[in-house]
Amino acid sequence: MRFAIVGAGRMSREIEAVATSQGHPVVWRLGSAENPHGQGLTAERLAAADVVFEFTTPGAAVENLLRLAAAGARTVCGTTGWARDLPAVTEAFAAGPGALVHAANFSVGVRHFFDLATRAARLYSRAGYASYLVEEHHAEKRDAPSGTARTIASLVEMTSGRPLPITSVRAGTIPGTHRLVFESPEDEIEIIHRARSRAGFARGAVWAAERIAGRSGEVFEFGELLSELEKEGP
């Protein structure tokens, strides 16, 4: 498969490395200077790629996604901070021949963390434990809390019926750490996901790209693709 990448950050470079190692050539990559308001997403460029990765910034993502939808591109989006525009983006992809996979986090380990967080919230809220979340990322990450942290908070709050306080740290080169804590006067329980590198996120994104090749008019959250796989069995 031929891949293209919109974005020139660390995740984009990691995706290119993983894709190339798995035999998928990256035929082009666009940085922000080459793609103001999505104008670099020309028909000629998009025709050269089977799947396009969109890993940019919250301010650029929606314009890029709407242009990709209009062009019928199969797209994997890992940009966060644009959830309020998801209905419009979903409608645009559903109306055309393209397809979209979006996620705040493409790590399979994080997806299982979500399941653990939901179960832990059910158990410990009933036992009277208080809970909070600390998330840490590199200094260049713009959104805070992270999209992953917001997802964890939503799951815990829906299960426990109580708001989940979140503390965000932006420092150094931290790939990503999420620490969910349940505490009482007597003891404390922590569930931690600590990314050792961005490779796990990139592998999940490349797998998602392989999964949506040839699909039309469909929009998936990454977890929905994983659920499809589970239903297919071994």
- Integer CA distances (angstroms), 75 to 34, 38, 50, 64, 151, in order: 19, 14, 9, 10, 21
**What is the pLDDT of the chain when averaged over all its residues?**
94
Least confident piece of the model among 104-108, 162-166, 171-175: 104-108
CB 181 within 8 A of CB 131: yes
Q: How far from each other are the two terminal CA atoms of the chain, in whole angstroms?
A: 24
Average pLDDT over residues 30-38: 94
Q: What does the pLDDT read at residue 39?
A: 95
Q: Residue 127: pLDDT above 90?
A: yes
Q: Which of 23, 10, 21 is nearest to 50 (CA)?
A: 23
Bridge-partner residues for 190, per DSSP? 181
In which band, very low, low, confident or very high, does the pLDDT at 10 lie, cut at 50, 70 and 90? confident
Average pLDDT over residues 19-38: 95
Instruction: Using a pLDDT cut of 70, give the percent of the chain over it.
Output: 99
Catalogue the active-site residues. 137, 141
Q: How far apart are CA 8 and CA 49, in angstroms?
A: 17
Q: Which of 226, 12, 191, 223 is nearest to 104 (CA)?
A: 223
Side by side, which strands form the sheet with 177-183?
166-170, 130-137, 177-183, 188-194
Domains, in order of start, for the chain: 3-106+199-232 (3.40.50.720), 108-194 (3.30.360.10)
Q: What does the pLDDT read at residue 20?
A: 96
Average pLDDT over residues 131-149: 93
Q: Residue 231: pLDDT above 80?
A: no
Report residue 102 as tokens: 């979006």
Q: How far apart are CA 139 and CA 37, in angstroms?
A: 25
Helices 108-126, 222-232: inter-axial angle, 10-degree rounding: 90
Report residue 218 as tokens: 């469909």
Q: Residue 92: pLDDT above 70?
A: yes
Residue 175's SS3 state is coil
Residue 3's SS3 state is strand
Question: Torsions phi, psi of 113, nearest 5?
Answer: -60, -40
DSSP annotation of 9 reads: S
In which band, very low, low, confident or very high, does the pLDDT at 197 lie, cut at 50, 70 and 90? confident
pTM of the model: 0.81
Q: What does the pLDDT read at residue 130?
A: 97
The CA dihedral of 113, 119, 124, 130, to the nearest 10 degrees, is 40
